Amino acid sequence: MAFLVLLIAVLSRVLPHLLHTTGGNVTCVGAGLLYFGASLRGRNRAMALVAVAALAATDWWLTVYAYGYPFHIAGYVVTWLWYAAVCLGASALLQRKTILRVGVAALASSTSFFLLSNGMVWLNGNMYDHTAAGLTQCYVAALPFYRNDLASTLVFTAIFFLLPSVATVKGWAHSMGDNGAAAA
């Protein structure tokens, strides 16, 4: 199920562009990384590279084909490190899944991405003055995107982590290849 969730995360970024709609910054990337990471154990934590590679490929496709810009790896290194950190953090912190842990992880995922990505826009760009006021303007301008990302991350995290529990209760888990162990 973890790979299916990862595929859904990738599609949540690609489909709005293929369908010529806006995504409104509603994706399930954070939730997908949390779920995928929580499924990793011991030696298979190296599988986090699969998640990073899938999303990095999505970054490349979006940059080159959806937005029509040249692709520069340096512009994405911080994002790719964030993908890995969320995935590996979930692997370490969500081995025991509780509603509180999963909820805090979802909140931390969206908030850390908001702080990191907009901090990098301010630091590396020329849209905002490189002053405290410019940094504040950068974060304030990004608040609507943060709101949508946080809402979608919370909703999709709840869906992804509760789905195995619902499937177990309904008797679907066996047919989905999941034993329900990923219950929230």
Amino acid at 171: G
Does a structural domain hold residue 20? no
Enter the tokens of residue 184.
């929230």
Q: Give the domain extent around 153.
A: 2-6+29-176
Q: Is residue 12 part of a domain?
A: no
Residue 56: which of 84, 91, 35, 16 has the closest Cα? Answer: 84
Summarize pLDDT for 24-81 with one digit per residue, the tens.
Answer: 667 899 999 999 999 998 778 889 999 999 999 999 999 999 999 999 999 999 999 9
Beta carbons within 10 angstroms of residue 135's beta carbon: 17
Does 46 map to a domain? yes
At residue 182 the predicted structure's pLDDT band, cuts being 50, 70 and 90, is very low
Q: What is the mean pLDDT of residues 96-125?
A: 95
**Angle between the N-to-C axes of helices 48-61 and 2-18, in degrees from 0 to 180, rounded to the nearest 10:** 10
CA-derived radius of gyration, the chain: 17
The number of domains in the chain is 1
Question: Which of 9-13, 114-118, 170-174 comes out lowest in average pLDDT?
Answer: 170-174
> Is residue 181 a part of any domain in this protein?
no
Whether 183 is covered by a domain: the verdict is no
Residue 18 domain-assigned? no
Taking alpha carbons only, the member of 38, 55, 137, 47 closest to residue 93 is 38
Tokens representing 157 are: 């995290």
17 within some domain: no
Query: Is there a domain that residue 13 lies in?
Result: no
